[in-house]
Structure 1
Amino acid sequence: MKFSGIIPAVVPGRITSAVFGPAPVARDRAIGMSERLAAVSSLQSSLEYLTQRKDIEKGGMNDWEVARQYLAGAGPVTRRLVDGVSGVRTTTALHLARSAVSLAMLLPGDSRWRGAGNVFLGASSALLSPRHHYGGDGSDQVATLVQLATGAARLAPSPAAKDALLWYASLQAGMAYAVSGWVKLFGKPWRDASALGGVMRTRTYGHEGLHRWTCEHPRTAKALTHGVLALECLFPLVYARGGKLTRSMITSAAAFHVANGYFMGLSRFVTAFPAFHPLVAYTATPRSHPTVAGRDDRALTAAVVALAGGTAAAAATVVRRRLRTTEGWHTSRTLTTRSKNLLQYEEYSPGAPDQPVVVLAGGLLSTSEHYAWIAERLCHETRYGVVTYARAGYAGSRRRATTGFRLSESVRDLVDLVNGAVAPGRKVILVGHSIGGELARRAARHLGDRVQGIVYLDSSHPGQFSSGLGASEKGLAGNFASVGRALRLGTGILLTRPVWINELPYAYRKKVFAQYADARMWEAARREWKAIRADFTSFTGALARVEGVPALVVSAQRTVDRNPEQLLLHGELAEAHVGARTESVVIEGATHETMLITSRYANQVTDRIIAFFDGQDRRSTTATTSTSSSTSTTATASSASRPGRPVARKEAAR
């Protein structure tokens, strides 16, 4: 009886220590547990690929003759290495070897040969990942990381080097969970807890029973969804207060991956991500604990210093790109519109006083520099004036309007730009790409007889949503918002320059990339896209007539091939111009973007513009007063428009 007062205190204490507290594990035991869990994932992965060999054979989902295009931008050494293992027989042999090594890694033992086995599994997985472009997932990447880290740790000669490698893998685990969680927070479905039910209703990852349960128990499903978010976002707290949350965090994460495996069919996740956990447990245990005595934690200090340096570099990069984005060129000018917006524009060429001025309006999430090839050729080969501008929120243009944004605001801005930047009495030719074409059409009604003609370049049409062409783009506003938030956090430093930017003239590339990596343009695109959807979904009836204004309608072949309905809508744009000459052209091989940024397609577009407004067709066709349709297949590229030509005015401005 004298111990009765102690029992109630002892039991809760044991429960608390079992839930809250570090999970001490020695270095060698942590390596052994992690490598075995990763080996199970590799074994399952290779067995899956071996049983689905038809996917890697000719005509399969991962036919190498098709899949190798994804290595086009890789270096010659990488291409040769991957090519060397991507034959059907070689790939099969590698997976058989991986299966055998994975089985061997499950056997007891603690020798250095296990390190070689881990390195083989990790390196072969990395080499085979391009081969299995479709079908690979995050579990393969995690297993590869764990195997390379633990393999190198087994082969490392000193305890300090071993600990540095284990710290590296552990910190990668923290980042993997935290980044995944914080990225989810950018998405509304995760914040309002509708994501879980949405995923469970899909055919690929869904589970009918769990989906039904989320519908029947919305409050519990919401708590579960937010619990998963909290687990991922706060996973780095395993290192707080001497590892007090290590046991509960690791246990919860393991349960989460088991649930993924069961409900979503992601069976490799069951062992791949938990392969991180022994390493996390080892590094999260206080150094004073006898199990981890002598652990070298200098890698943590180095990581903190590197993080601080990276944060400073990211902030500096944001500032530098913002300045490059907003400063414009040395020839840039500004104009304030009636909406109080400040527009930045550039006069490429004043042209002859008796000739019209070509005003180029860009598309959604597009820079005015996208018109570089076209603008430069118009300057060199015609007597037209040439003006480009950035809409409010793009480049150095600023939106200062205080009312809610509508497309009519951008239309007024374009009208004010023409009236303010072009001398009174001079005609203008409005050229618009994508949504810029629709803005030009609406602006023409306000500019009256100042408009000598309109050129629609793969233009938007207000009826495209009712035709079903916008159904696949409903989530664009959310995507724009997510990218904008991420860029504001400094993640732009991680961006690599998109390959398409290299299609532009050299002198323009840095400025275009600076805009692409700046949050302002993505925020402006989100604002415009929401206004476009609101405006276009309310469109009914026919387009308003544009009296007496000639129109050239240029379509990209890839656009109309993907959506044949688009060609009919482009035809309606031409038909809306009454009492004037119209022409419709399809640029063979061009896409929505490459018709501007790829020199050979941009040259064809420019040829058509010059021929249409000069009243001559360089391809020996006769323009008529009725709508005609042709396919342009040949570009006339002068020496002034060849790729690599020095762009004198822009080069001087760099």
Structure 2
Amino acid sequence: MIGRQQAIAMAERTSAFTHLVSSLEFLTTEEDRAVGGFNDWDVIRDHYTHFPAPVRRLLDTVGNPGVTRVLHMGRVAAAASLVASKSTGRWRAYADAYLTLSSVALHSRHMYGTDGSDQLSLLVQFSMTVARAGRRNPRLADACLWFVALQSTLSYAVSGLVKLPGSDWRSGKALPGIMRTQNYGDRDVYALMRTHPRAAKALAHGVLALECAFPLVYYRKGRYAPAILAAAGAFHLANTRVMGLGRFLPAFLSTYPAVLYTVRGAEDREGRALVPARSDNTPRLAGAVLGAAALAAAGAQRRRRRRVLVGDGSERYVTVPSGNRLAHRLTEPPREEDAARPVLVCETGLMATAARWTNIRRALQADFPVLTYDRAGYGGSSYHQADPYTLRSSVDDLAALVRTVCPGRPVVLIGHSLGGYLALRALRALPDQVIGAVLLDPSHPGELHRSAAQANGARRMAGRFLTIPTSLRYGLGALLPEPGWLTWLPPDVRRRVLDQYRDAGLWQTALREWKATYAEFLNNDGSLPAVSVPLLLIAAGRTHREDGVNAKLHQEIVDASPRGELRVIDGVGHGELVTNPDPARRIAEHVAAFTTSVTPGGGA
């Protein structure tokens, strides 16, 4: 194992080499920053318009081509001196500081083209700057080395744990898929993996094992650390050759000295204290902070879950034959004559709650009865059914809810996305009550087979379900960023919707529904449920513009109705139809006109 000063020197030099290579690359690719290049400052600076004026002026100064060039030349000189010189003078701290500060200053200038190696080398260089600046404080130096070592360990472990739930990595399909890509692939290696699938699978499993088992460097006072670090270094060396990730090799190697320094025990094999003694306060403090954070996160998660189940106090509850308990809200119009109009029943899409209908509901409730509810598992509704879940389960729950809450009353079903398909299925279950249906960008049972965009979207959705539900169960909901669409909802419901979005129950329910939908759509022959009532389909303009197949699928749904109509709202995306106030207002107008037209005696 190595000592403190040796670890600092080795980490510093290796990280500086990463900065040296990085700046040389930027100096030889100035066309990327020219007019029309992907790092054209006249374009990139628009990303920082919300920054304070002094910061924008500083960024504009750094963005000047001459200033950028001078900064990189200074980085080359500083990094080269750190790599080449073995002197231990104070100037090394100044060189480290220059590399650190210039990396931060130039980050905005090179928005496109940086990668994880730049971030890791910045972290290491900053840590060595602090260690050099406090060279008379061994505890501070040890804290910096522990910080780098723990960051390296987490990087490997998290990378492996994130891959582990994915079927592509477990089945061995991931590596051939990567080798097939243009950016990171290799034609010869891809051919070998196709020829030898068992070897490719074994290699994928080896990568998973190496990353997940990396924390074993600390097992038995670092006895296996050299072997594990050698294997990890060989892994990065192979990536350099095959994937072209050259800077990752020195970036990760720069963390290994800190790992080797921190894995050694506080005593030698004879039990004598090692000199100089190492301070291990950092991992203890980190463990205490993480423990306290875990307890706080668990408490916050329980409080969030309680708020989700309680709702806003206006919900009512009904237990349907499946055993599920559904939270719902039925608003009646203030005028008695309007109460005789059909009830508008809103069916949400995947991973959505009834609160997403707030803008549409409030635009309609003055003239029509409106029923919104959460499917079992979402929001305040609870899932208790004993039978395995299928989409038929949600259809039966919807029909039971309508018969219980609106017995004998005429109904117009309104469904968004997956909710549109569920509404179509519910027509047959409520033949005596439903007089019309409004579908907002509905799902089509044949979309996975006929639309490449929908199939790709389904695969991306699967990726989101790999880690987020588990993370939320462990209390990490506060780390889930607020979705951009939240600002479209009225202020009085945003907190509740954010709680629902960060609640593990929503994601677990969405995963259950997604699996059932994916299986049913994959096995569907493309046929549609029978439609015996007038139907209005309102599509998002972007959906039709970006995927012509979707437009054809929507037309098929319209044609299945004895009186079908298609309307397209231009410039609007799939999720905006329900949530964004302007499209929601326009949809409410269409719904009101359609409902009036299908109501007996209600007008043409």
Q: Give yes or no for TM over 0.5.
A: yes
Distance 1:474 1:500, change over 3 A: closer
User: Counterpart of 2:84 in 1: which secondary structure?
Assistant: coil
Unaligned runs of 5+ in 1: 1-22, 617-622, 626-654
Alpha-carbon distance between aligned partners in 1 of 2:579 and 2:105, rounded to the nearest angstrom: 34
Find 2:464's aligned residue among 447, 459, 479.
479
Asked whether 1:192 is paired with 2:178, we answer no
In the TM superposition, residue 276 of structure 1 has moved relative to its aligned partner by 0.5
Tell me the amino acid that sits aligned with residue 245 of structure 1: Y
Asked whether 1:326 is paired with 2:309, we answer yes
CA contact 2:469–2:507 (8 Å) conserved in 1:
yes
Distance 1:540 1:234, change over 3 A: closer
In the TM superposition, residue 561 of structure 1 has moved relative to its aligned partner by 1.5
Give the match for residue 448 of structure 2.
465
Asked whether 1:287 is paired with 2:270, we answer no
Alpha-carbon distance between aligned partners in 2 of 1:272 and 1:395, rounded to the nearest angstrom: 45
Find 1:183's aligned residue among 162, 170, 175.
162
Tell me the amino acid that sits aligned with residue 135 of structure 1: G
Instruction: Compare 138-147 and 556-565 and name the one that shifted more.
Output: 556-565
Alpha-carbon distance between aligned partners in 1 of 2:267 and 2:54, rounded to the nearest angstrom: 47
User: Counterpart of 2:495 in 1: which secondary structure?
Assistant: helix
Alpha-carbon distance between aligned partners in 2 of 1:544 and 1:221, rounded to the nearest angstrom: 44
In the TM superposition, residue 292 of structure 1 has moved relative to its aligned partner by 5.3
Tell me the amino acid that sits aligned with residue 340 of structure 2: D
Give the match for residue 240 of structure 2.
261
Give the match for residue 567 of structure 2.
585
Find 1:314's aligned residue among 267, 282, 297.
297
Find 1:148's aligned residue among 119, 123, 126.
126
Alpha-carbon distance between aligned partners in 1 of 2:81 and 2:324, rounded to the nearest angstrom: 68
Asked whether 1:120 is paired with 2:94, we answer no
CA deviations on 1:416-449 (whole Å, 9 max, x unpaired) are 1111122x23222211111111111221232224
Give the match for residue 596 of structure 1.
578
Give the match for residue 638 of structure 1.
none
Distance 1:315 1:68, change over 3 A: farther
Distance 1:141 1:609, change over 3 A: same
CA contact 2:447–2:455 (8 Å) conserved in 1:
no
Give the match for residue 105 of structure 1.
82
Asked whether 1:557 is paired with 2:541, we answer yes
User: Counterpart of 2:169 in 1: which secondary structure?
Assistant: helix
CA deviations on 1:206-261 (whole Å, 9 max, x unpaired) are 23333344445555444433333222222222223222222222222212111111
Give the match for residue 373 of structure 1.
359
Asked whether 1:355 is paired with 2:341, we answer yes
Give the match for residue 552 of structure 2.
568
CA deviations on 1:37-76 (whole Å, 9 max, x unpaired) are 1111112222223333333333323334544565577777
Give the match for residue 277 of structure 1.
256
Asked whether 1:413 is paired with 2:391, we answer no
Tell me the matched-pair count. 590
Give the match for residue 426 of structure 1.
409
Give the match for residue 299 of structure 1.
282
Give the match for residue 16 of structure 1.
none
Alpha-carbon distance between aligned partners in 2 of 1:427 and 1:72, rounded to the nearest angstrom: 53
Find 1:438's aligned residue among 421, 424, 435.
421
In the TM superposition, residue 278 of structure 1 has moved relative to its aligned partner by 0.7
CA contact 2:19–2:75 (8 Å) conserved in 1:
yes
Alpha-carbon distance between aligned partners in 1 of 2:446 and 2:166, rounded to the nearest angstrom: 29
In the TM superposition, residue 474 of structure 1 has moved relative to its aligned partner by 4.0
In the TM superposition, residue 349 of structure 1 has moved relative to its aligned partner by 4.0
CA contact 1:331–1:347 (8 Å) conserved in 2:
no
Give the match for residue 594 of structure 2.
612
Alpha-carbon distance between aligned partners in 1 of 2:439 and 2:49, rounded to the nearest angstrom: 33
Find 1:243's aligned residue among 205, 222, 229.
222
Alpha-carbon distance between aligned partners in 1 of 2:550 and 2:104, rounded to the nearest angstrom: 42
Asked whether 1:162 is paired with 2:148, we answer no
Tell me the amino acid that sits aligned with residue 99 of structure 2: L
Alpha-carbon distance between aligned partners in 2 of 1:486 and 1:276, rounded to the nearest angstrom: 27
Instruction: Compare 216-225 and 30-39 and name the one that shifted more.
Output: 216-225
CA contact 2:124–2:254 (8 Å) conserved in 1:
yes
Give the match for residue 504 of structure 2.
519
Find 2:184's aligned residue among 205, 209, 218.
205
Asked whether 1:26 is paired with 2:3, we answer yes
CA contact 1:282–1:292 (8 Å) conserved in 2:
no
CA deviations on 1:162-203 (whole Å, 9 max, x unpaired) are 222222222111111111111111212222333333322333
Find 2:13's aligned residue among 36, 50, 69.
36
User: Counterpart of 2:206 in 1: which secondary structure?
Assistant: helix
CA contact 1:98–1:121 (8 Å) conserved in 2:
yes
Distance 1:392 1:69, change over 3 A: farther
CA contact 1:187–1:482 (8 Å) conserved in 2:
no
Unaligned runs of 5+ in 2: none
Alpha-carbon distance between aligned partners in 2 of 1:74 and 1:558, rounded to the nearest angstrom: 31
Distance 1:576 1:249, change over 3 A: same
Tell me the amino acid that sits aligned with residue 484 of structure 2: V
CA contact 1:287–1:293 (8 Å) conserved in 2:
no
Alpha-carbon distance between aligned partners in 2 of 1:255 and 1:69, rounded to the nearest angstrom: 41
CA contact 1:353–1:426 (8 Å) conserved in 2:
no
In the TM superposition, residue 153 of structure 1 has moved relative to its aligned partner by 1.3
In the TM superposition, residue 510 of structure 1 has moved relative to its aligned partner by 2.0
CA contact 2:8–2:257 (8 Å) conserved in 1:
yes
Distance 1:320 1:64, change over 3 A: farther
In the TM superposition, residue 154 of structure 1 has moved relative to its aligned partner by 0.9
User: Counterpart of 1:466 in 2: which secondary structure?
Assistant: helix
In the TM superposition, residue 305 of structure 1 has moved relative to its aligned partner by 0.8
Asked whether 1:506 is paired with 2:483, we answer no
Find 1:491's aligned residue among 470, 476, 488.
476
Alpha-carbon distance between aligned partners in 1 of 2:603 and 2:252, rounded to the nearest angstrom: 67
Distance 1:461 1:69, change over 3 A: farther
RMSD: 2.7
Distance 1:365 1:202, change over 3 A: same
User: Counterpart of 1:160 in 2: which secondary structure?
Assistant: helix
Alpha-carbon distance between aligned partners in 1 of 2:108 and 2:278, rounded to the nearest angstrom: 37
User: Counterpart of 1:335 in 2: which secondary structure?
Assistant: strand
CA contact 2:445–2:526 (8 Å) conserved in 1:
no
CA contact 2:17–2:79 (8 Å) conserved in 1:
yes
Alpha-carbon distance between aligned partners in 1 of 2:323 and 2:188, rounded to the nearest angstrom: 55
CA deviations on 1:548-571 (whole Å, 9 max, x unpaired) are x33322111221121122223222
In the TM superposition, residue 150 of structure 1 has moved relative to its aligned partner by 0.6
Alpha-carbon distance between aligned partners in 1 of 2:301 and 2:230, rounded to the nearest angstrom: 39
Distance 1:541 1:196, change over 3 A: closer
Asked whether 1:96 is paired with 2:73, we answer yes
CA contact 2:332–2:339 (8 Å) conserved in 1:
no
Tell me the amino acid that sits aligned with residue 379 of structure 2: A
CA deviations on 1:493-516 (whole Å, 9 max, x unpaired) are 322323322222122222222222
Identity of aligned residues (%): 40
CA contact 2:23–2:75 (8 Å) conserved in 1:
yes
Distance 1:75 1:374, change over 3 A: farther
TM-score of the pair, normalised by structure 2: 0.90
User: Counterpart of 2:393 in 1: which secondary structure?
Assistant: helix
TM-score of the pair, normalised by structure 1: 0.84
Tell me the amino acid that sits aligned with residue 98 of structure 2: F
